[in-house]
Every structure is written in C-alpha cells, then in structure tokens.
Amino acid sequence: MSTRDPNLLRNNIWKWLVLGILAVFSFYVSNPLFDQKDADGKLLVQGKLRRGLDLKGGTSFTLGVDKDKLAEILIAEDPKVTNTPGRLEARIDEVLADADQRIIEVVRRRVDGMGVNEPVIQGGKDHRLTVQLPGIEQEKRLAARQSIQSAAFLEFRLVHPRNDDLVARLLSTDACPEGYVKSTKTSGYEKAPDFAEVSSRRGYQARFSSFRVPDTHYAFMMDNEGRPYFVSRKAELTGDSLTSARVDRDPISSKLSIGFQLDSKGAATFATLTRNYKAHGPRNPGNVGRQLAIILDGQLYSAPVINGEIPSGRGEITGNFTPAEAQQLANVLNAGALPAPLKILAESTVAPTVGEDAVNKGLWAAGLGFALVALFMVFYYWYCGLAADVALALDFLLLPSALVIAANVLGVFARDASMGGGGSTVLPVLTLPGIAGLVLTLGMAVDANVLIYERIREEFKANVTAGTAIKNGYARAFTAIFDSNITTIITGAILFTFGSGPVRGFAITLTAGVIISMFTALVVTRLMLDHTVDPESVKPFRMLQAFKQPSFDFVGKGKFTVAVSGAIIVVSLAVFAIRLVNKPASVLAVDLTGGTAITFSFDQEAKPAEGDIRKALDAFDNGAVVQYQKSLDGKSDTVLVKTSYTADNVTEDVVPNKDVPAKVQGLLDAALPSAKFAQVGVDEVGSVVGEDLKKSGTKAVCFSLVAILIYVAFRFRFGFGLGAIVALAHDALISLGLFSLCGRQVSLIVITALLTIIGYSVNDTVVIFDRIREDMHREGRLTFKEVANASINRTLSRTFITSLTTFFAVLALFAFGDGMVYDFALTMLFGVIAGTYSSIFIATPVMLWWYRGKRPDLEDEAKEGSL
C-alpha cells in the first residue's frame, strides 16, 4: 500500500478552488446561452451568446464624414472662406469638433425609425461610424443605406425677387450649367451624357452654385424637373426647429407630400418670415408674394409663393414621391439633421440562411476536430491521453470565462464595445472567424500536454518513481509552454489592435483558447495524475512512441533545405507579383483593393459557364472577376462576382440608386434567366477603407515579427530571435505564395491566417530553442551544432504530434468551411506544414550560422521549480 504526499494534496486545494471559481464564473456569464421563448415564440429571457452579422445575417455599414462634400457645402455657403489660406480647413475642423456624438444620436434615431431589432451603432476614430443592422431584409438594404447617409438638413431660403426675369433671360441664351444641356421636355435643363464624369470633378458643387448668379449673395439651383432658380445663400429658417414630419396625401390629386410642424420658436420665426414677404408685406411692397425655397440636403424640392402669413408653424414639402420615398423622407426629418455629410466607406451583407449554414458548418468542424484530436490522444498516450481529453472538454466548459478575460485583456490595446472588455462580463460577439479560431485552438490546446508527457517519458527512463516523473515532467516543460504560448498571445494582441470586427472576434477566441488550455494542461491534468496515479510506482506510463531513438542529421542539411525553400518562395511570389501587376483584382480581395464582391446562389442544374457570366457583365465592367466556390456536398455551390465599382465611385446615371449589387444581378438575370441568381452575400469596400486595411494588415505583420524578435531575443539571445524571424518570414511567404497559386484572392482573413501561422510556427521554434538552451548546460562535451541536432531529435515526437493534432483541426475547418473560412483553412494547411518544416530546417541553421557554430555565452536559465 502506497502513501501520497499529504503536503502535495493540501497544496492542490487552491487549484481545485480556482477550477471551481472559473466553472461558476463561466456558468454566470453564459447562462442562459441561447434565447428562451414561450410556446408562442415570445422572448422570455435573452441569451448571453451574441452572434455577429456573419452568423445571423444582416447588413453592416462603415460610414465616414465626406470632407470633400462638406468643403463644397461650406464654400457654397460662403465663397469668401477660400480667400484666406487655412480658413476652409479651420471651418471643417470647427464643424467636426463635436460632431461625432451628434452623428451617432441622429443615425440611431433613423435606425430606430426603420424598426430594426438590436442594431449596433458604434463610433470610431477619424469620425467613422459602424452601423450593424441584424436580420434586415435584402430589399430594405438600399432604403437603409439612403436613410443613414441622408444629411436631412432642411432649409427655408428666399428666392430672388426678380427670379422669373433672371431665369427667362438665362434660358434665352445658349449658356448651360456645367454637366447639363437644354431640356427638350421642359423649360429648363437636363443632364448631359458626360454628367457622371463632370460632376465627380473637385469643386463642381461650388462652380454649379455660382452659375450666372446676379451677385454672390445668391446661388444657382434647380428643382427635380430641371427648372432653374436663383436662391439666397442665407437660410431664413432651418430644420433645427422641426418637431415632427408626416406623410400627407392630397385628396384630389392623390399626390404625396411631407407635412411638417415647427416648435414654438420656429413657428414664430416662420410667421414673421411669411408676414414680411407676403404681397404688400413690410419687406415686400410688390403685388406678388416672394417665393420661399424649401431645400433638403442641398436639393430644391419646391419654391411656393408666400400668399399670406402662416402663424401655425405648419407647412409641406411637395414633390413626385413614391410612398416608400415619402415615408423614408419623413423618418429622416423626424430623426434630425446630421452635422456633416456622411458617405459609405464599406458595406457587408449576409443572408440569414447563409449565416445559419455557417453556424452549422462551424459546429460540424468543431465536432470533427474535437473527435480527431481526442481519439488520437487516447490512442497515443492512453491514460495520459484521457486526462488530456478531459482537459480538452473543460476547455469548452471554461471557455466563457476565458473569453471574458481575453476580451478585457485585449481591450487594453483597442476599445471595441461589441467585443466586451472594459471590466464588462458580457461575452464578446461570436463571429465566423471566431469559430475558426475556436476550432484551431482544439488542435493547439494539447500542445502543452504533449510537451509534459514527452518530458514524463524521459523522466521514467531515469528509473524514477511516477510521483517524481510527474513532478519533474511538469516543471521542465513549464518554460517551453510559457514561452511558446506568450508568443501566440502577442500575435492575438496585435490582431486585435490592428484588426476590426470579425478579425477581432478571431483574436479573442484564439487568445482565450491559449489562456484556458494552459490552465487545464498545467493544473487540471496535474490534479488528475496526482490523485489517480500511485506516486511510488516505477512502471512507466503506457505511451506509444513515434520515434524511438531518432538521430537524424537535420542541421547538416541546412544549406540544402534553405535553398529549396528559397526557390519555392521566389517562384510562387514571382507568379503572385506578375498576376498582381497585370490584374490586381484577380489576386486581392475587395477588402484590400476596394470594390464590390457579390456572392450569388443559383439553380445548380442550370449552372452557367464563367465565360457567360463575364460576357453578361462586359458592358458594365469588362474587368470583373468571376469565381465559382465549391461546396462540400456539391449541391450548394455559389459564384463570386467582383467589380471595382462601389456606391462611392459611381453615379446614379451609371448605376440606379448607386446599388451596384442590384445592377450586377439585373445584368445576370437579363442574360442568364434560367440560372435564377440570388444574392447571399455582399461586401462593398471603398478605396479609403481598402487602403486602410492594407496598411493595418502590413503593420500587423511587421509588428508581430518585431515583437516576437524582441521577446525571443530577450528570453534567449539575438541569434535565436533572428533564426525565429527568418523562419516566420519563410512560413508566411511560402503560405502566401502557395495560396495564391491555388487561384484564391488574398483578403484580410488570409492576412489573419498568416499572422496565426506566425504565432503557431514560433511556438514550435521556441520549444526547440528552449531544449537547445537546456541541453547546452547538460551536454558540455558536444559542439554547439551537435547539441542543436540532438535537441531537435529529442523534441521530434512533440513536433510531429502537435503538428498532427493542429492539422486535424485545420482539416476539419477545410472540410466544412467555405468562403472566408475556406481561405483561412487553406492558408493554415500550408502554414502548419511550412511551420513544422521551418522550425527544424530553417530556424536552427540560421541561428547556428549567426554564431558561426560557436556556443553563445548563455546564462543558466534552466527551470527546475515545481507547480
């Protein structure tokens, strides 16, 4: 009968206590996980799990202040603002000084007026705004876009007293405002064929408003029928006094109008204005009342004659409105005016059915990944593998705690309300890349267990008892576990800092997975072994061994392996560069180049050829990219159409309502009606956002490399850090090159995968370097090259097993993923293989070349402590 160390058991009490606290906290922050409803479908309790738009469907807009349009508005109001250098820029800064909160408030009221449930409206840097509208129907997307963008700036301005004479004289000449020609239908003007190009030129609005004006106090304007007016630049009254707006219908003509009501102050001003400028009024001695122009967002809707004083503060805006247009206009007027014009920088739409399908595929991928990893661990490590599987299961149960902790830790680097943090216990929003990060951590989670078990195996070879083997195995594996996981957390922090939306969701789940897997591997499995294994037993644990006594000369092949890798990198990147120069859209996704990417489903039995789709789009964009995306079952393939056009760079003459997806679908439906195309996803990214994402992605990669170099150099020496960085660059470049050779487009999610590869690969490299550092103190008679070679061989089993389990998880993602998850998984497949290869054949040889084969002067940093 054996006895257990009573001190060890007493010391384990705090570990059980921490485990219990985490379990209770996880239950608290996640219960109930899903919405609870009664038999009639009425919501009783809202679930704690919040899904991103890519999982539940909806539309997301990224908005920014249109500074060019704001400048034109300010110049049109006061042309003298350009006379003093810097005055215009100062006025813009003045307008935007406190505009952000006002913009959020106005947009929120407009969204509420559309009846959208649980919208997310969040401000950002550089006067940007993110608006997420979950569950919004496809047909309401355009109305939402127009409503959110509309400035809703209502003005009442006086028309020139001699307007009729001035207009008659103008129309008697051949002069036309820039971009217009004489109308053949009405007494006015109509758009010229080159209007789209002319109106996009800088300063157009200011030039247009100054066309043939009698003096600088008036602006040239036209109504929707093309009739010209000369309108005072001074607003007598603005929409700030508006209290309500409604849709009215004329009982005789059935025409729609927008009735409005002003507050008491506005009503008094309106009464004074109409009294002064009615016929024979104090400021209008003529027999006819002055015309009062009603202007909304710079567009003149009507200019009725003031026939008498209006003391009630009521009025109406007339025009040829459809019911939808009239209701939308009333909604934006009720919400109030924006302090500055907005433009859509990026837009993303996902159909609800696609989001639901993504969740199901994510669950299948997680289930398959868990099953493959769990079965392999039991098969390879038997009882110890079972302990690792228990820890793996606990990773899921304790994940809510880890997600909250990770969100708060990463929130220090970048604030994102949708992702929690800031002391909040709210679960971060779950995104599709977040699910991918969760599945990926399944494969990486057992890495710590593998390190520990391989160390325990080595301890048994020294003929020690089970208690000693367990104690020493955990202690000697701790340094490698800590260092390797810290590098992954560094990558997660950089991803969170420079990423946005779904990428931040991935960063949180990846970091949370690392945190909780470290805890379960170092604490939970240790508790299981301490309480179930006889510490006095000298019988080694039952484990398989892939490599019995490996003695491969890895280092000796360094020159050859580096040359082979260099050749692969040069060839693959050369092909990538050629394609990038000839047709950037074929290798870069819209989130990096700007443009619109529309994913269509279609009748699988009437699948059209790619050439037919391109032909249908040639008249619109002969550079459009068409790419079929295969599904796992082969019965739900989709087609991706990418065009360089966005709502930001087209006019309504080219694309009605600037709705690029609708334009593309209309062309496809006309040319290929039997295919029955239906939009299931839209990504529209303006050039500004695309450029920003490229810069942030480049910064993220560079900062990751520098941060890891600093950390590895600090923990080891500079030569080790250099070897690690060269290996990481190798992994990223090979993965990028091979991914591109597969004909896929590089997107933000691919950059995320490259950063993940960097974190994963350095994990393996650090484990080898840690063993080299340890063996340098033990193997005093061997040369540095021999020590390095021996260390690689001693960690070969761990390298093989960890790569295999990670490969299992990525393979599950690859099997069930599509779209961005497919791209992520494909990149990771290349990265796992490249990372395993570089840790052995690149990192160590480069480190040895730096030191010219001589031992560096390392301090004794061997860790012999216990947990």
pLDDT tens profile 487-508: 888 888 888 888 776 778 888 8
Query: Residue 8 — pLDDT band, cuts 50, 70, 90?
Result: low
Rounded Cα distance, 291 and 160, in Å: 8
Nearest residue to 329 (alpha-carbon basis) of 364, 366, 302: 302
Residue 771: predicted pLDDT? 87
State the pLDDT at residue 152. Answer: 64
**pLDDT band at residue 633 under the 50/70/90 scheme:** low
Instruction: Decide if 451 contacts 477 (C-beta within 8 A).
Output: yes
Q: Please give the pLDDT value at position 501.
A: 66
Q: How confident is the model at residue 858 (pLDDT cuts 50, 70, 90)?
A: low
Q: pLDDT class for 162, splitting at 50, 70, 90? A: very high
C-alpha separations of 178 from 71, 74, 195, 215, 696 in Å: 19, 20, 8, 19, 40
Please check the confidence at residue 120 and state whether its pLDDT lies above 50: yes
The answer on pLDDT for 866 being more than 50 is no
Mean pLDDT score of the chain: 82
Exposed e or buried b for every residue in 416-436, given b needs 16+ CB within 10 A?
bbbbbbeeeebbbbbbbbbbb
pLDDT at 221: 94
- Model pLDDT for residues 231-275, shown as the tens digit of each residue: 998 888 877 788 888 888 877 777 888 888 888 888 899 899 999
What is the distance between the alpha carbons of residues 509 and 443, in angstroms, rounded to a whole number? 14
pLDDT exceeds 70 at position 160 = yes
Decide if pLDDT at 57 tops 80: no
Q: What percent of the chain has pLDDT over 70?
A: 92
pLDDT band at residue 861 under the 50/70/90 scheme: very low
Highest mean pLDDT: which range of 132-146, 381-395, 610-624, 741-755: 381-395
Query: What is the C-alpha separation between 520 and 449, in angstroms, rounded?
Result: 9
Q: Decide: helix, strand or coil at residue 414.
A: coil
Whether residue 776 contacts residue 787, with contact meaning beta carbons closer than 8 Å, is answered with yes
Three-class secondary structure of residue 59 per DSSP: strand
Return the amino acid letter for 541: F
Q: How far is CA 344 from CA 347, 528, 602, in A?
A: 7, 56, 29
Rg of the chain in Å (alpha carbons) = 34
* Among 6-20, 510-524, 544-558, 739-753, the least confident range: 6-20
pLDDT for 867 beyond 70? no
- Residue 496 in contact with residue 433, Cβ under 8 Å? no
Hey, what are 165's tokens?
């004479």
Q: What is the pLDDT of residues 739-780, one digit of tens each?
A: 888 878 888 788 888 888 887 788 788 888 888 888 887 777
Under 8 Å CB-to-CB from 340, ≥6 apart: which residues? 65, 66, 70, 95, 96, 99, 103, 127, 151
Residue 632 has pLDDT above 60, yes or no: no
Amino acid 386: pLDDT: 94
Report residue 639's pLDDT band, with 50, 70 and 90 as the boundaries. Answer: confident
Residues 392 and 553: their CA atoms lie apart, in Å, by 35
pLDDT in the model for residue 168: 93
Half-sphere exposure of 528 (CA within 13 A, CB side): 16
Give the model's pLDDT for residue 115.
Answer: 66
Q: 289 versus 33: which is more confidently predicted?
A: 289
Of residues 346 and 864, the one with the higher pLDDT is 346
pLDDT of residue 228: 94
Residue 419: which of 509, 504, 491 has the closest Cα? 504
Q: Where are the beta strands (DSSP E) in 3-67?
A: 36-37, 43-45, 58-65
Determine the pLDDT at residue 6: 64
> Is the per-residue pLDDT at 230 higher than 90?
yes
- Minimum mean pLDDT among 49-53, 160-164, 470-474, 568-572: which range? 49-53
Q: Quick: pLDDT tens for 387-426.
A: 999 999 999 899 999 999 988 888 887 777 667 767 788 8
Residue scoring higher pLDDT (471 or 354): 471
* Residues recorded for the chain: 867
Residue 137, pLDDT score: 67
